[in-house]
Amino acid sequence: MILSALDLSPVTGDATQAQAVRETLDIAKAAERFGYHRLWLAEHHNIQGLGSAAPEILIAALTQATRTIRLGSGGVMLVNYSPLKVAEVFMELEALAPGRIDLGLGRALGTDARTGGALRSVGSDAFPQYFHLLTSWLLDASGKAPIGEAHPLHDLHANPAGPSHPDVFVLCTSQESAAFAGQMGVGMVFAEFIARTDGGPAVAAYHQAFQPSLFRTEPWAGIALIAYAAKTAEQAWREDALRRAANVSMLSGHRRRFLDLASAETFLAEHAGTPVLALVEGRSIAADAASVYTRLVEKTREAKADEVFVMATGPSLAARIRSLELIAQMHTIPA
């Protein structure tokens, strides 16, 4: 099992969104120090509890602050942008850190429909067309498959050109999107924490649909989970209350930030016995390091995935880093 990390630049306590973005730099340095294979950064808009709306900006900063860890988007919401511009941005990132850049693409907006309108999003139906345009420009810019004279794009090129291009992935929350990733011959990551369902069926659909391509000759599938480790299971469950309360609030249709554990615990107590709390708690992984790691291994094996992404969650920056460290320590212990 390959172990990687995902960070959404969460706003904890009374911190600002700007501070949350800066904290992601510390998360990246820690993840590299602990031996994580990749760190991916998310794109969200108009969500007060999350700081990062532009993962490409953070990736650029992290190419200069790290040396070995792969850096990627988890993901770029492609239908919000020009495919040519995305190709150019990520070819430039590849130039800054050759062989370390991943381009994870989402077909959703990363926000609500009204905010999507402000972003001038064309909507998720355009994703296949945008995907084909983007990948054509990446292959052309890297010299793998130059755009020929007969192609409608023959005189349009993504700059900077270079000897390599980012690795490409599709972020999935359904079997349909997983099958699309397979048909396109790119990697896929199933976001269990968004879909709130197990990734096995989507990974199976991906493998069944996979067609070798210039991007990948063999299938590769990952799953992304939220997990939090502390010294004891009791400590982890209590400190995870902030995240659980925020999730229950969101699923109930009222996004709310919780500034301290006491208010989160009170909110959860008020929702005791409700289906939404049962759903959130049933899919929560928060315990001592050994228990968390065992569950990650089980989930990866059940899904038949190649890699697991752990979201860097916790009530503070120090707690998030400590959780990543505890999980990584279990990963390095011989079986």
In tens, the pLDDT along 174-210 reads 999 999 999 999 999 999 988 889 999 999 999 999 9
Same domain, 276 and 290: no
Q: Name the residue with tokens 């650029």.
A: 60
Same domain, 107 and 245: no
Instruction: Name which of 110-119, 237-246, 322-331 the model is least confident about.
Output: 110-119
- For residues 106 and 55, what is the distance between their CA atoms, to the nearest angstrom? 13
Domain count within the chain: 2
- Would the pTM of this model clear 0.75, i.e. be above it? yes
Same domain, 217 and 146: yes
Same domain, 153 and 67: yes
User: Which of the pair, 28 or 255, is modelled with greater confidence?
Assistant: 28
What's 21's domain CATH number? 3.20.20.30
Same domain, 291 and 304: yes
- For residues 9 and 3, what is the distance between their CA atoms, to the nearest angstrom? 19
pLDDT greater than 60 at residue 95: yes
- pLDDT for 254-304, tens place per residue? 888 888 899 999 999 999 999 999 999 999 999 999 999 999 999 999 999
Residues 6 or more apart whose CB falls under 8 angstroms from that of 187 comprise: 167, 168, 169, 170, 181, 216, 219, 220, 221, 222
- For residues 227 and 315, what is the distance between their CA atoms, to the nearest angstrom? 13
Same domain, 207 and 279: no
How much is the pLDDT for 115? 86
Same domain, 116 and 249: no
pLDDT band at 253 (very low <50, low <70, confident <90, very high): confident
Same domain, 202 and 291: yes
Q: Which residue range is the domain that position 267 belongs to?
A: 241-283
pLDDT greater than 90 at residue 109: no
Same domain, 149 and 296: yes
Same domain, 293 and 165: yes
Query: Mean pLDDT across the stretch 80-96?
Result: 97
Same domain, 264 and 290: no
- For residues 59 and 296, what is the distance between their CA atoms, to the nearest angstrom? 26
How much is the pLDDT for 334? 57
Query: Mean pLDDT across the stretch 109-129?
Result: 86
- For residues 101 and 93, what is the distance between their CA atoms, to the nearest angstrom? 7
pLDDT greater than 90 at residue 112: no
Same domain, 222 and 296: yes
How much is the pLDDT for 176? 96
- For residues 204 and 222, what is the distance between their CA atoms, to the nearest angstrom? 12
How much is the pLDDT for 12? 85
